[in-house]
Amino acid sequence: MYGKILAAVNEHINSEVSARYAINLSKVTGSRLFLCHITPHEAAEEVRALSLDAVDRLLRCARSEGVTAEGVTGSGDVVAGIVRLVQREGIGLVFAATRRKDVERRFYAGTVARSLSIGLPCSVALVRVVHMGRGQPREILVPLKERMGRVTEMSYFVAMMARAFDSRVYLFHAAEKKKAVSGIFPRDAGVRPIEQEVELPPMVLNFIEQLEIYKVKHEQRLRAGPAGEGLTMEAAARRYGLIIMGASERSLLSSLIRGNPVEEAMRKTPCNLIVLTARHEH
């Protein structure tokens, strides 16, 4: 699926950690890796130097892992440069790191991360790095939504990441309890929380089936309750090394009214998080 993978590198250590995920994924998928740095025009020379050092380090690291990798550097508009490269090389997946100031903005508006996830014609893995000590996640948490797009690609990505790190996958599905029509008498009185768990939606079942094709060890964790809060608590309670989740498919209006679990997870995640905007049908 991912014949070519690109990792965007800059002067920040977050991008280096993000690129290491790309190296590991390239290793198991046999993909060709592009480590790309584009220096914005207004950036200081020091920024360029730090970034090129990072590209060098990552290239050495990738080659030592047996990954076919090449460094691509340039200058100008970062997003436009990466878009051109993706189109020219036919890249299937781009890894980009987000920063704290990105996720502090609502919907990451106006950030490079946002522009990449919207503007690129390929899949995008936005990486939020919050913990530098767990380079090899032993346990990966995968929150599953009721409605998911590109289940095939999502399951492939999760499976390959699990394979790359020999990790166990924990599938997490939270669904808010449906309220009684009147709202007066709680319907679930006397019902144990375990009995309140909703049936797994078809797309989640489809995801599990796909995952089993790759023989990935997984466990299901089902919760009744708000997704964002439940996810943050689950991630903190179990010391997961990585969370992988699909990009939000809620509209702007819906996000404003109902909130956005993906955005909430980006802000509150206690471990590293990858948000995958999948764009491959198969």
Partner 1 sequence: MSINALSTQEALNSLVSSEDGLGPDEAQRRLRDSGPNEIGLIAGEPLIWKFLRQFTHFLAVLLWVAALLSFVSEYLNPGQGMLQLALAIIAVIFINAVFAFAQEYRAEKAMEEMRKLLPFNVWVLRGGVEKEAAASAIAVGDVVLLKAGDKVPADARLIEAREIRFNNAPLTGESEPVAGTALPFPGELVRSPNIAFAGATVLNGSGKAVVFATGLRTEFGRIARLTGTVQAGETPLQREINRLTHIIAALAMGIGAVFFTIGYFIGVPFWDNFIFGIGVIVALVPEGLLPTVTLSLAMASQRMARKKALMKTLTSVETLGSVTVICTDKTGTLTENRMSVRKTVELALGIKPSLYEIALLCSNVEIIEGRPEGEPTETAIYNEAVRSAAVPGSVRLAEFPFGPEIKRMSTVCSVGGRTYVLSKGAPESIFSICRKCSAADPSTPRPLEEAVPVCNSLMDEGLRVLAFAFRELKPPEEARTRQEAERDMTLAGFMGIEDPPRPGVKEAIGKCGESGVRIVMMTGDSARTAVAVAKQVGLFSGKEGIPVLDDADFRDMSDEALRPVLSGRAVILSRMTPEHKLRVVNILKDSGDRVAMTGDGVNDAPALKRADMGVAMGSGTDVAKEAADMVLIDDNFVSIVDAIEEGKAVYENIRKFISYVFTSNVAEVMPYIFFIVFKLPLALTIIQILAIDLGTDMLPALALGAERPTPEVSRTPPRAEGKRLLDLPVVARVFFFLAMIESASGFSGFFHVLYSSGWKWGEQLAASDPVYIRATTACLAGIAVAQAANVFQCRSFRESVFRIGFFSNWLIFPGVAFEILLLLFIIYTPFGNGVFSTAPLGWDVWLVLAPFALLLFFAEELRKLMARRFFPEKKPSI
How far, CA to CA in Å, does 112 sit from each of 19, 40, 48, 81, 91?
16, 11, 17, 12, 18
Longest dimension (CA), the chain: 66
Q: Is 217 in the site for partner 1 (CB under 8 A)?
A: no
Q: Is 180 in the site for partner 1 (CB under 8 A)?
A: no
Q: Is 199 in the site for partner 1 (CB under 8 A)?
A: no
The per-residue DSSP string of 231-251 comes to HHHHHHHHT-SEEEEEPP---
Distance CA 209, CA 207 (A): 5
Distance CA 111, CA 101 (A): 9
Among candidate residues 125, 142, 144, the one with its CA nearest the CA of residue 20: 125
- What order do you get walking across the sheet with 218-224 strand by strand? 69-75, 32-39, 4-8, 93-98, 123-128, 272-277, 242-246, 139-143, 168-175, 218-224
Closest CB to partner 1 among 184 and 257?
184
Closest CB to partner 1 among 122 and 141?
141
Q: Is 270 in the site for partner 1 (CB under 8 A)?
A: yes
Q: Is 225 left (phi over 0), alpha (psi -120 to 50) or beta?
A: left
Q: Is 219 in the site for partner 1 (CB under 8 A)?
A: yes
Place of tokens 């032993």: 138
Q: Is 135 in the site for partner 1 (CB under 8 A)?
A: yes
Closest CB to partner 1 among 1 and 52?
52
Which one among 28, 163, 233, 279 touches partner 1, defined by CB under 8 A?
Answer: 233
Binding to partner 1, residues 27-46 (CB under 8 A): none
Stretch that binds partner 1, among 116-124, 206-214, 237-245, 246-254 (CB under 8 A): 237-245
Q: Is 229 in the site for partner 1 (CB under 8 A)?
A: yes
Stretch that binds partner 1, among 30-38, 69-77, 83-91, 232-240 (CB under 8 A): 232-240
CB of 29 to partner 1, least distance (A): 20
Binding site for partner 1 (CB under 8 A): 11-14, 16, 54, 57, 99-101, 130-136, 138, 184-186, 189-195, 219, 221, 229, 232-233, 236-239, 241, 270
